Structure 1
Amino acid sequence: MSAASAVAPRKQFRWRGLRVPYIAPWSAERTLPGEIVRRVGVSGTGIGYADELSHLDRRRGILWTRQSLARGKGTPDLPGMHPLRQRQAVTHMLCQVCGISTFGADFERWGERHLYVARAQQGWPIGEGEHTVMAPVCLPCATESVDAYPHLRKGWTAALVSYAQPWGVAGITLHQQTLEPLPLPEKGLHRVPNGDPAERWTIAMREVTTLHRVTPVALSDLVAAA
């Protein structure tokens, strides 16, 4: 992605007075049909779409779910994630709310670190090496989000992170014989690390990273310093 496209403003949408996150899916963005078949590839036997287009349906050899693009149409799912936009935000370090690159003035001022905000898990802070499907967020969007979005008003935590390392994907893993979905874990999606044989049997829906050199912070302190 070019430097110009990284900072290019993206159209912002509001719903009931709230700014809709860039990664949030809209009701008009439907999961697209695709017949799942067994395929034999370079890395072994796995799954694929019967009408597969490898340059669109796969990333790093992993099959991804198909979901239409209709951002701004219908009703948004504020805490949800559109597979493609989540992957774009995580891969290119885009703010999950406004969609702009988080490599900016704050990134430099924070010692080349990105800000992450997440729902608090029983009050626990974001930890070193934590696995996450969250993308970073810019400071203005972070301060707006924690006051505006119901799923964050219940509790949130913030941290500055030096780097996010690709770990794997989260999605639906299918039984190798029946091609039926395996029972989902408590967290909702199967998480499969890079290089695991289960990659070949998984329909990815989220990019997963691990966070490193994590420093918990208070947003009020970042705002005051800015």
Structure 2
Amino acid sequence: MTLGRSGVPYITTWSAEESLPTTVIQRPGGGIAYLDETLVDRDENGVLWQRVPSRPGRGRPEFGKVHPLRQRRAMRRLLCGICGGVPDRTDEGVLWLVRDFRGDWPDWPDGMAATEPPVCLPCAHRSVGACPALRIGFVAVRVGQSTVAGVYGTVYQGGQPFPAPVDDAVVAFDDSAIRWVQAAQLVRELGDCTILRAMPERRDQLWQRDRPGVPNGVGDGTQAHPA
């Protein structure tokens, strides 16, 4: 399923992909499980994942709602989140489009926990005008290295007769709270990042590093604004 054939991003959920009914219980040693849990409900790190069938193209697209399995696949294999193909890559790294929060900490976005997959160059240009979040303000970033570091999902707390959801959060694999998470999205920690001044139209155009005094606008002259 690609944007070129359907006009719908690869990781978007369709209306026929409704979450399957589950009963979340507390495990004897702590953490959560499904009452009727099977091997496919957990990943290789032992994290419990949402149960959502994969039926892309059936029904209507639910824009803004991310499909857990396809997002997880795109993040693990580093696929374009829009078309499901190979993302754009240069010697500086893989291309990501992210909301502009460069004022959050020094050296942002190094250390950022990303749930959005990378993008290929054609999809990057299309998504700038199509994605409401990116229209608010974005930056194009080359990511030299990224590590699968955790998940984003619903955090539960223990209780009787059943544990209760208390928050949606990013939780690292090495955090003891990971036992209490029902995962919805895979997280990569971004590193060795280069903020780009402009998004090229062609592969043979030079990418320029962000410099002091350069406007935040990227691409077709759109001015980015802090959220």
Fold shared per TM-score above 0.5: yes
The verdict on how the C-alpha distance between 1:159 and 1:222 changes in structure 2, with shifts beyond 3 A counting, is farther
1:117 is matched with which residue: 97, 100, 111?
97
2:216 alignment partner in structure 1:
none
Give the equivalent residue in structure 2 for 1:98.
83
Kindly indicate whether residue 37 of structure 2 is the aligned counterpart of residue 63 of structure 1.
no
Where 2:127 maps in the other structure, the secondary structure is: helix
Calculate the aligned-residue CA RMSD, in Å: 2.3
Q: Partners of 2:203 and 2:3 in 1: how far apart?
A: 26
Query: Structure 1 residue 200 and structure 2 residue 188: aligned?
Result: no
Call closer, same or farther: CA 1:181–1:200 in 2, change over 3 Å. Answer: same
- SS class of match (1:84): helix
Shift of residue 223, structure 1, vs aligned partner: 3.4
Please show how residues 171-210 of structure 1 align to structure 2 within 5 Å. Answer: 171-178=153-160, 179-182=163-166, 184=167, 189-210=168-189
**1:190-212 deviation per Cα after TM superposition (whole angstroms, max 9, x unaligned):** 11111212111110111111101
Structure 1: segments with no counterpart, 5+ residues: 1-9
- The one-character-per-residue Cα deviations of 1:169-194 (angstroms, maximum 9, x if unpaired) are 11111111240111x3xxxx211111
Match of 2:15 in 1: 27
Secondary structure of the residue aligned to 1:22 is coil
**Structure ranking higher in helix proportion:** 1
- How much identity, in percent, do the aligned residues show? 37
Query: Gaps spanning 5+ residues in structure 2: where?
Result: 206-227
CA 1:224/1:49 → structure 2, altered by over 3 Å: closer, same or farther? Answer: closer
Q: Among residues 98, 111, 127, which one is paired with 2:109 in the alignment?
A: 127
Scaled by the length of structure 1, what TM-score is found? 0.80
Structure 1 residue 112 displacement after superposition: 5.8
**Residues 102 and 108 of structure 2 are in contact (CA less than 8 Å); yes or no, is this contact kept in structure 1?**
no
Go from structure 1 to structure 2 and tell me whether the alpha carbon gap of 1:52 and 1:80 turns closer, same or farther (over 3 Å shift).
Answer: same
What secondary structure, in the 3-state scheme, does the structure 2 residue paired with 1:213 have?
Answer: strand
Q: Which moved more, 1:115-124 or 1:162-171?
A: 115-124
Asked whether the 8 Å contact 1:13–1:72 carries over to 2, the reply is no
Match of 1:164 among 110, 122, 146: 146
Counterpart position of 1:6: none
Alpha-carbon separation, structure 1, partners of 2:77 and 2:179: 25
